Structure 1
Amino acid sequence: MAISSSFFPLVFLCCLFFIVTWSVAKTSPRPILQVTKDAKTLQYVTQVSQRTPLVHVKLTLDLGGQLMWVNCERGLTSSSISYPMCGSPQCQLLNAPSCLSQCFHIPSPLCTNKSCASTAINTIGSSAATYAPINGDVLKIQSTDGKGVTVPRFYFACGNDMTTNNNLASGVTGMAGLGRTVMSLPAQLSSYFKFDRKFTLCLSSSTTSSGVVFFGDGPYTLHPNVNVSSSLSYTPLIINPYNYTIYGDAFPFYYIGVKSIKINNKRVSTFDESLLSINAHGYGGTAISTTDPYTVLETSIYLALVEAFVNAMPKNVERVPFVPPFGACFSSKNIASTSRGPDVPFIDLVLQSNNVWRIFGANSMVRVNNDVLCLGFVERSPLTLLPIVSVKIGGHQIEDNLLKFDLKNSKLGFSSSLLGRSTSCANFNFTYPA
């Protein structure tokens, strides 16, 4: 049978349409956050735009935070704000069963009659929390094409002066929660933009150059054209199922399974390794935090780590008086520098997957002055609020490491230090399409 002469052009056009559509879908802009380390507080700070007309809002990044909250007590004016009502489908989807039944003043974003509510929690330091009404409003954040993307109704909680608590970085009026909840930034962005629930954290160690949070899948390219997502190791993400009323759900923190700790390939064995697992009361385990500047360890783990690290240091490195909050400090005179920081014993977290998260000198040591380097791990306070975590991996230990939180497959991808690959988390170009 003869084929019409118009058939082949038609097939060509269909194929071209498919290729272009696939290419556009593949390269569609992804939401991102530009993250800067505050020099005074060591908090990781980002900025979003909210409301109508748009207002810039600075927020402290909280990896384990259940939602985004802002201080509404100083006034919040917007022509596009909405208040989901108690029992509505929105409240049910947001897992916000609490209800504000009566306001004792004129209804406002801080109190709207019969709207659903959650909890705004400031997780910095001693923490502060308040019963917080849920509001929906326009949210605009940066994107990989440099143009920005908008969510017309993004749900957030209204905190107040108590939750701001005078301990947030200068100009910050709330927190951006990235935790394992339906109201977190990753959850709402993935729901609106229809991508898999994944996000990637890359914090800069510099206070003058920014790191980045990518929402959605990779690849992630840093200068000089390094695809940092191509060689990640993976380990399962673990859920702490224990329920505390303040969260109304399982803990939103990201836990990983650490089986043991080694220093220079020698196991640290002078503590009870069962502390590395979550017990029946929800205590213990290993979580990752952006609101703790340094890794926080349960006392027996901390003492064992410090002792093993001191013993592993070369004999020509002098130990000097400690500088709070650190318990082990050294003269930097005989410590050489490498591409991955000070040349000191490396620390391995041996994971449930049998992969190893190796911590090199740039992430294990803190320079307190020109002559002194300290081991950048601290002892957990006896006054620690719930949940009580045995190992909380802090900001300093994850700087210039790529961490991919894959909620769809419940796993964490990690790179260890990017410095050995001649790049860092400060090398993302926010003005050029990724």
Structure 2
Amino acid sequence: MKDEKMRRATAPQQAANHTFTFNTSRTWPLHSLSSSTLSGQAQSPRRTMPFHFFSFLLFFLLSIFSVPSPAHAISFVAPIGKDNSTLLYSLTLYLKTPLQPTRLHLDLGSSFTWVDCDTDYDSSTYQHIPCGSPLCSSLGHNLSCSNCFNPPSPSCANNTCSLFPENSITRKTAISTALTDSLALPTSDGSTHGPPLLIPAYIFSCSPPSLLEGLAKNVTGLAAFGRSNYSLPVQVSDTFSIPRCFALCLPGSTADPGVVLVGSLGPYYFSSQKIDLSKSLIYTPLILNPVGSTVITYVGQPSDEYYINLTSINVNGKPIQINGSSLAVDQNGFGGTKLSTSTTYTVLESSIYNALADTFVNESSALNLTVTNAVKPFSVCYSAADIIVTRVGPGVPTVDLVMQRDDVFWRVFGSNSMVKIAGDGGDVWCLAFVDGGVNPRTSVVIGGHQMEDNLLQFDLDSSRLGFTSSVLLKGTTCADFNFATQGHS
């Protein structure tokens, strides 16, 4: 990642004289924030004050609005929802002035956030980034300057910096203006909520409404969580001088939200028993792919996606036959294993998929399971009536994703290896891996279904991924994070 730091925000502002309500059902009511305090709109009449009064006031304000230090283990938190139709994930944050709840598609590999600015984008604090400015130059290589002949608006201005927002589902892109605007997220000590803090100049891109095609219907853009200096977690971390890291816990159902925690390496408390999942993390290095895979790419610029060093796959402890060279990333960016929240089910290169499916069927036969009619896009399915259900899902052979050593593996239990599908002839459980064909760009793409109810920690400072395997084994779920509000006055 680049070394330059983001511009520091001015003193963070907190919600005052109001309880911050974190409503995880759908959208969060605006009255839950004292937006006049957060946006700085409310101003008292100007008076002449002695200098010593201002000195005292400055000291008082700095004491109240001091940025949390890493030693306090402060995280910024947001709920993650799962869409029932697309099975994609979204998070809710506060954007604009006055602050408004904004739901964005959660994308692990994108470089920068983008928002539809043509539809009801109303803010008093947005700013265009001048073309040729140091900030514009830092955003990318040879960015274009935009000119617009329509009335001025967030998406229309002359001589402004432009970016290329991309939809990771449809692989469509556009050229749009770059903006800064106010963004706020609640804070947490890992178990209870603290006050929201504000980034007054969060950097993102506008996008045309057409770029929303293929995403969940209730989102208005994309929240980037890639390795870029302008992703959401990196901007938050650099603004408040906290670790460049985030923990992701995707929900296992569409009914209750999971959570993302930005800026803290732990603790992460779940359930009323305050189970600290950070103590269950196992670590593997994050691998840098030297070639980006976005529609608009630049020579010499590596991918902002997260790759890991998968070396083998075991089924019930037995290794499957894999061409090891396909698991390494070559100089052209092909091969390897990456994680993607924009891919629903893990996709495997054909030879890897066939080896996994054959071994899984053989191991399942020892459990007296017989393959039944498959349901696309899956090829291995079993009658639900024949499978017992345990606390970690259907009782089927385990799948281990083995990393740099034999004792470092991500165990995939039935809740993540299988998906239940209703049918006229009865329900079936299907192996939730998909054949990605011959010679795909990436040999293994770990999809969202395999990450659900697993805590993943992306430590960018140490370039490593922490994973817990299924938290169901701990007697909790990703929906058990405590979103209860802690009052502040």
Is TM-score (shorter-chain normalized) higher than 0.5?
A: yes
Conservation of the 8 A alpha-carbon contact between 1:137 and 1:154: yes
- Deviation (angstroms), 1:55: 2.3
Quick one: which amino acid aligns to residue 311 of structure 2?
K
For the residues of structure 1 that align with 2:369 and 2:378, how far apart are their CA atoms? 17
For the residues of structure 2 that align with 1:41 and 1:23, how far apart are their CA atoms? 37
For the residues of structure 2 that align with 1:179 and 1:28, how far apart are their CA atoms? 22
Alignment length (residue pairs) = 408
Q: For residue 399 of structure 1, what is the aligned residue in structure 2?
A: 452
Q: For residue 113 of structure 2, what is the aligned residue in structure 1?
A: 68
Q: For residue 14 of structure 1, what is the aligned residue in structure 2?
A: none
Q: For residue 12 of structure 1, what is the aligned residue in structure 2?
A: none
Quick one: which amino acid aligns to residue 157 of structure 1?
S
SS in 1 for 2:365: coil
- Deviation (angstroms), 1:88: 1.3
Cα-Cα RMSD:
2.2
Conservation of the 8 A alpha-carbon contact between 2:70 and 2:242: no
Conservation of the 8 A alpha-carbon contact between 2:311 and 2:327: yes
Could you tell me the TM-score, scaled by structure 1's length? 0.89
Q: Is the aligned partner of 1:136 residue 2:180?
A: yes
Q: For residue 296 of structure 2, what is the aligned residue in structure 1?
A: 246
Q: Is the aligned partner of 1:365 residue 2:415?
A: no
Quick one: which amino acid aligns to residue 344 of structure 1?
V
For the residues of structure 2 that align with 1:88 and 1:283, how far apart are their CA atoms? 35
Note the 1:312-327 alignment, pairs <5 A: 312-315=363-366, 316-327=368-379
Note the 1:55-204 alignment, pairs <5 A: 55-95=100-140, 97-124=142-169, 126-144=170-188, 145-165=193-213, 167-204=214-251
Match of 1:32 among 74, 77, 82: 77
Q: For residue 16 of structure 2, what is the aligned residue in structure 1?
A: none
In structure 2, do the counterparts of structure 1 residues 23 and 140 end up closer, same or farther at CA, with 3 Å as the change threshold? closer
Match of 1:286 among 300, 315, 337: 337
Q: After superposing the two structures, state which structure 1 stretch, 140-149 or 213-222, moved more.
A: 140-149
Deviations 1:187-214 (A, max 9, x none): 1000111101010001110211110000
Note the 1:249-288 alignment, pairs <5 A: 249-269=301-321, 271-288=322-339
Unaligned runs of 5+ in 2: 1-65
Conservation of the 8 A alpha-carbon contact between 1:97 and 1:117: no
Q: Which has the higher strand share?
A: 1
Q: Percent identity?
A: 41
- Deviation (angstroms), 1:112: 2.3
Quick one: which amino acid aligns to residue 179 of structure 1?
G
For the residues of structure 1 that align with 2:235 and 2:345, how far apart are their CA atoms? 29
SS in 2 for 1:60: strand
SS in 2 for 1:279: coil
For the residues of structure 1 that align with 2:314 and 2:439, how far apart are their CA atoms? 28
In structure 2, do the counterparts of structure 1 residues 241 and 357 end up closer, same or farther at CA, with 3 Å as the change threshold? same
For the residues of structure 1 that align with 2:89 and 2:385, how far apart are their CA atoms? 31
For the residues of structure 2 that align with 1:116 and 1:155, how far apart are their CA atoms? 11
Conservation of the 8 A alpha-carbon contact between 2:347 and 2:446: yes
Q: Is the aligned partner of 1:341 residue 2:393?
A: yes
Conservation of the 8 A alpha-carbon contact between 2:349 and 2:438: no
- Deviation (angstroms), 1:146: 4.7
Conservation of the 8 A alpha-carbon contact between 1:100 and 1:112: no
Conservation of the 8 A alpha-carbon contact between 1:95 and 1:182: no
- Deviation (angstroms), 1:52: 1.4
For the residues of structure 1 that align with 2:291 and 2:115, how far apart are their CA atoms? 27
- Deviation (angstroms), 1:334: 2.6
Deviations 1:341-385 (A, max 9, x none): 11111111110244111111111010112631000011226797x
For the residues of structure 1 that align with 2:107 and 2:326, how far apart are their CA atoms? 24
Conservation of the 8 A alpha-carbon contact between 2:160 and 2:177: yes
- Deviation (angstroms), 1:107: 3.6
Deviations 1:33-65 (A, max 9, x none): 100111111011111221112222211110111
Q: For residue 378 of structure 1, what is the aligned residue in structure 2?
A: 434
